[in-house]
């Protein structure tokens, strides 16, 4: 079994094979799991790290993921969180595998979307059975998609036949094909754990039709519901009965109602059920309630566990909030004090360096002059770092004074300063006209200085460089700064805004690693967002807003 699964040309949905992703940093464990799940209708893809797994999920769709918890770098929980944060892989079921399992680890696994949590060593038969369930669910989902495709094709064919006055024989063939599709769809409905039934509108507690899998969900054969008018009512918990009946009785034609209740099983236990009902008018007849019922007992138990955990967490947060407020105030005072205390020795070092250069310059050796130059550079970098830290601290404390700002003029002002500072660097600045924002002018200027300064800096290897400031066509409230410089790998995008984190060495590009952290703090203080798009060697684009965005106002990559 290879480390990669290469996708070839597009395959027909009928022949599509399910993919199982195995994520484990131990080569022996990876190979063992890969051999365990090799099957004629599924393929196994392996990943040796969390980063490797994220790349796989960018390239392929998986039926289920087996995730080792303890891995260097990104552990299983962080990897799973990032996988589920991506729309393409948000719904992929993840089974966690680990050699140890504290209770908090189990809760964390389920909270981030895990479907199971297994301890090593794992019984192969049990693990194969669990994986097989998700592979079969994946195949059934694909089967529903194929059914929907065939339904659309059948409907289009029938419409074309009507438009062309097709023969009766052709219409019968189309009807037969549609009947076959509907029969297969009915078969699918019988396999899923959902009970289907019809209720009388005049007597909501009376069930007049029930699907074959009612027994699978509610624990009783459909005949019990059809022959005993009061059977459903008698099995609903007395405390939930009035509310459930009231919801069913008040639904209007064309509306949908939902209700939850505890259901009494034959073994004496109670389980939570969720029912969806629609009131549909029958041609020439009395409207009836059509609905579904699913078992949500596990979800209710999880909600209760989360509620208790949240109450405990709220209590702890309340205790820590006061402590953190005091600590933050002390840290701000400390940063100002440290910055002041550091400047004094820096000034002395700088002064002694100048004396050495002026008085001993003619007699200094080449190595001595090199050391003196490095001393000057180190003092300059340290002074710049102190300034950046103080700026970051002031950004967190500054009072916001919002006003309408001409962003076009402000960007051109920053560009002029950059050109004056480094006239030998050929850069084409393109700033869109009429860009405006409502923000704090001083803080917005700092953010633009950092964003445009980075674009200028990282476009140095390109001749000519190009820096563009504009707004997205689909959402003018989203502005961007784009360059054609060195770019970066999007895997590291979330690390860019951390203080002191750099993707390039000081020998490649100067800087302190504070700039983007300052940008994010400024934008977050305005209630906005900032996010990048980039590729190695293809430049980078930083999008940002300076206010909360309305839902549905645009797409964030």
Residues 6+ apart with CB under 8 A from 37: 20, 22, 44, 128, 131
Residue 79, SS3 per DSSP: helix
Q: Give 426's strand partners.
A: none
pTM score of the predicted model:
0.37
Residue 30 lies in a domain: yes
The whole domain housing 480 covers 400-544
Please report which confidence band the pLDDT of residue 415 belongs to, taking 50, 70 and 90 as the band edges: very high
**Residue 299 to residues 102, 296, 306, 419, Cα–Cα distance (Å):** 21, 5, 10, 60
* Domain harbouring 67, CATH code: 3.40.50.2300
How many angstroms separate the CA atoms of 245 and 237, rounded?
Answer: 12
Residue 29 CA, distance from chain mean position: 28
What pLDDT was estimated at residue 9?
35
Angle between helices 50-59 and 76-85 (to 10 degrees): 20
Residue 507 — very low, low, confident or very high, per pLDDT cuts 50/70/90?
low
Could you tell me which residue, 281 or 526, shows the higher pLDDT?
526
**In this structure, are residues 264 and 270 in contact, taking their beta carbons and an 8 Å threshold?**
yes
The answer to whether residue 551 is domain-embedded is: no
CATH of the domain at 418: 3.30.565.10
Q: Give tens-digit pLDDT for 522-550.
A: 888 888 999 999 988 889 999 999 887 65
DSSP 412-481: HHHHHHHHHH-TTS-EEEEE-TT-EEEEEHHHHHHHHHHHHHHHHHHTTTSSSEEEEEEE-SS-TT-EEE
SS3 364: coil
Would you place residue 46 in the very low, low, confident or very high pLDDT band (cuts 50, 70, 90)? very high
In a domain, 71, yes or no: yes
Q: Is residue 552 in some structural domain?
A: no
Strands 94-98 and 114-119: parallel
For residue 549, tell me if it sits in a domain: no
Q: Note the helical H segments in 268-296.
A: none
Measure the CA–CA gap between 385 and 391, rounded to whole angstroms: 10
Pairing of strands 465-471, 479-483: antiparallel
Shared domain check, 468 and 442: yes
Do 486 and 435 sit in the same domain of this protein?
yes
Residues 6+ apart with CB under 8 A from 391: 446, 514, 518
Q: Which of 25-39, 375-389, 460-474, 490-504 has the highest mean pLDDT?
A: 460-474
C-alpha distances in angstroms, 443 versus 394, 438, 525? 10, 12, 10
Note whether 418 and 455 are same-domain residues. yes
Q: What is the dihedral of CA 417, 420, 424, 427, to 10 degrees?
A: 30
Average pLDDT over residues 449-476: 90
The answer to whether 512 and 528 have CB atoms below 8 angstroms apart is no
* Single residue among 247, 268, 295 that ends a domain in this structure: 295
**Residue 5: band (very low, low, confident or very high) from pLDDT cuts 50, 70, 90:** very low
More confident residue, 391 or 256: 256
Where residue 278 sits, what CATH number does that domain have?
3.30.450.20
Q: What are the distances in angstroms from CA 313 to CA 281, 316, 327?
A: 49, 5, 20
Strand 479-483 with 540-544, pairing: antiparallel
Query: 96 and 173: one domain?
Result: yes
CA distance 447 to 469: 13
What pLDDT, on a 0 to 100 scale, did the predictor assign at position 413? 92
For residues 378 and 512, state if they share a domain. no
Buried b (16+ CB within 10 A) or exposed e, 507-542: eebebbbbbbbbbbbbbebbebbbbbbbeeeebbbb
Pick from 295, 325, 351: which residue ends a domain? 295
Identify whether residues 34 and 47 lie together within a single domain.
yes
Instruction: Measure the CA–CA gap between 448 and 413, rounded to whole angstroms.
Output: 10
Averaged over 145-159, what is the pLDDT?
A: 84
Contact 97, 67 (CB under 8 A): yes
Beta-strand (E) ranges in 230-285?
256-264, 270-280
Task: Tell which of 372, 396, 420 closes a domain.
Answer: 396
**Which pLDDT band holds residue 4 (cuts at 50, 70, 90)?**
very low
Q: Report yes or no on 12 lying in a domain.
A: yes
d(CA 199, CA 248) in angstroms, rounded, equals 9
Give yes or no for a contact between 516 and 388, defined as CB atoms under 8 angstroms apart. Answer: no
3-state secondary structure of 550: coil
Q: Is residue 177 part of a domain?
A: yes
Specify whether 144 is located in the same domain as 6: yes
Are both 392 and 405 inside the same structural domain? no
How far lies 402's CA from each of 104, 396, 405, 545, in Å? 44, 16, 9, 14
Indicate if 93 and 50 belong to the same structural domain: yes
Confidence grade of residue 63 (pLDDT, cut at 50, 70, 90): confident
Q: Which helix (H) or strand (E) holds 343?
A: helix 297-360
pLDDT band at 101 (very low <50, low <70, confident <90, very high): low
pLDDT digits (tens, 9 = 90+) for 186-218: 666 666 677 777 887 777 778 888 887 788 888
Taking only the tens place, the pLDDT of each residue in 166-184 is 677 777 787 788 777 767 7
Same domain, 102 and 139: yes
- Distance from the first to the final alpha carbon of the chain: 34
Q: Are residues 13 and 65 in the same domain?
A: yes
Enclosing H/E stretch for 145:
helix 124-163
Distance of CA 281 to the CA centre of its chain: 41
91 phi/psi in degrees, rounded to 5 = -100, 10
287 and 340 in a single domain? The answer is no
Tokens of 556: 């964030």
- What is the number of residues in the chain? 557
* pLDDT of amino acid 109: 80
**280: in domain:** yes
Domain count, the chain: 4
Q: Name residues whose C-beta falls within 8 Å of residue 330's C-beta, 6 or more positions apart in sequence.
A: none
Give the lowest-confidence range in 120-124, 304-308, 408-412: 120-124
């Amino acid at each position: 079994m290879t480390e990669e699964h290469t996708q070839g040309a597009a395959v027909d949905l009928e022949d599509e094979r399910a993919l199982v992703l195995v994520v484990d940093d131990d080569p022996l464990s990876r190979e063992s799991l890969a051999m365990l799940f090799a099957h004629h209708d599924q393929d196994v893809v392996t990943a040796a790290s969390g980063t490797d797994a994220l790349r796989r999920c960018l390239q392929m769709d998986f039926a289920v993921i087996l995730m080792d918890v303890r891995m260097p770098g990104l552990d299983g929980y962080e990897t799973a969180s990032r996988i589920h944060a991506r729309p393409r892989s948000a719904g992929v079921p993840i089974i966690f595998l680990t050699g140890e399992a504290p209770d908090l680890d189990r809760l964390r696994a389920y909270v981030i979307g895990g479907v199971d949590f297994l301890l090593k060593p794992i019984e192969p038969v049990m693990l194969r059975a669990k994986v097989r369930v998700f592979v079969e669910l994946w195949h059934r989902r694909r089967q529903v998609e194929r059914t929907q495709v065939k339904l659309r094709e059948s409907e289009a064919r029938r419409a074309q036949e009507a438009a062309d006055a097709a023969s009766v024989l052709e219409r019968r063939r189309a009807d037969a094909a549609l009947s076959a599709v509907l029969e297969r769809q009915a078969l699918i409905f019988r396999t899923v754990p959902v009970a289907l039934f019809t209720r009388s509108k005049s007597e909501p507690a009376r069930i007049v039709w029930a699907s074959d899998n009612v027994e699978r969900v509610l624990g009783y054969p459909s005949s019990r519901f059809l022959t005993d008018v009061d059977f459903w009512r008698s099995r609903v918990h007395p405390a939930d009965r009035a509310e459930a009946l009231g919801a069913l009785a008040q639904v209007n034609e064309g509306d949908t109602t939902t209700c939850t209740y505890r259901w009494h099983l034959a073994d004496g236990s109670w389980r939570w059920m969720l029912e969806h009902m629609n009131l549909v008018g029958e041609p020439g007849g009395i409207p009836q309630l059509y609905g579904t019922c699913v078992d949500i007992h596990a979800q209710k138990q999880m909600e209760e566990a989360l509620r208790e955990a949240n109450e405990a967490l709220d209590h702890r947060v309340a205790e820590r909030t006061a402590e953190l407020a005091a600590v933050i105030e002390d840290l701000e005072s400390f940063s100002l004090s440290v910055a002041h205390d550091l400047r004094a020795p820096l000034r002395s070092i700088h002064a002694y360096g100048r004396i050495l250069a002026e008085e001993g310059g003619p007699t200094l050796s080449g190595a001595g002059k090199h050391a003196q130059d490095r001393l000057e550079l180190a003092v300059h970098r340290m002074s710049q770092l102190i300034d950046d830290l103080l700026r970051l601290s002031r950004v967190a404390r500054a009072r916001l004074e919002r006003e309408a700002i001409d962003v076009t003029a402000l960007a051109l002002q920053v560009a002029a300063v950059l050109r004056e500072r480094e006239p030998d660097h050929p850069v084409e600045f393109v700033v869109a006209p009429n860009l405006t924002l409502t923000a704090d002018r001083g803080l917005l200027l700092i953010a633009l200085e950092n964003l445009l300064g980075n674009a200028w800096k990282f476009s140095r290897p390109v001749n000519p460089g190009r820096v563009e400031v504009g707004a997205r066509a689909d959402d003018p409230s989203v502005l961007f700064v784009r360059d054609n410089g060195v770019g970066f790998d999007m895997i590291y995008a979330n690390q860019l805004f951390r203080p002191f984190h750099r993707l390039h060495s000081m020998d490649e590009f100067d800087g302190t690693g504070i700039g983007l952290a300052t940008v994010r703090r400024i934008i977050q203080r305005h209630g906005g967002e900032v996010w990048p798009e980039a590729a190695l060697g293809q430049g980078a684009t930083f999008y940002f807003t300076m206010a909360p965005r309305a839902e549905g106002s645009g797409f964030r990559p």
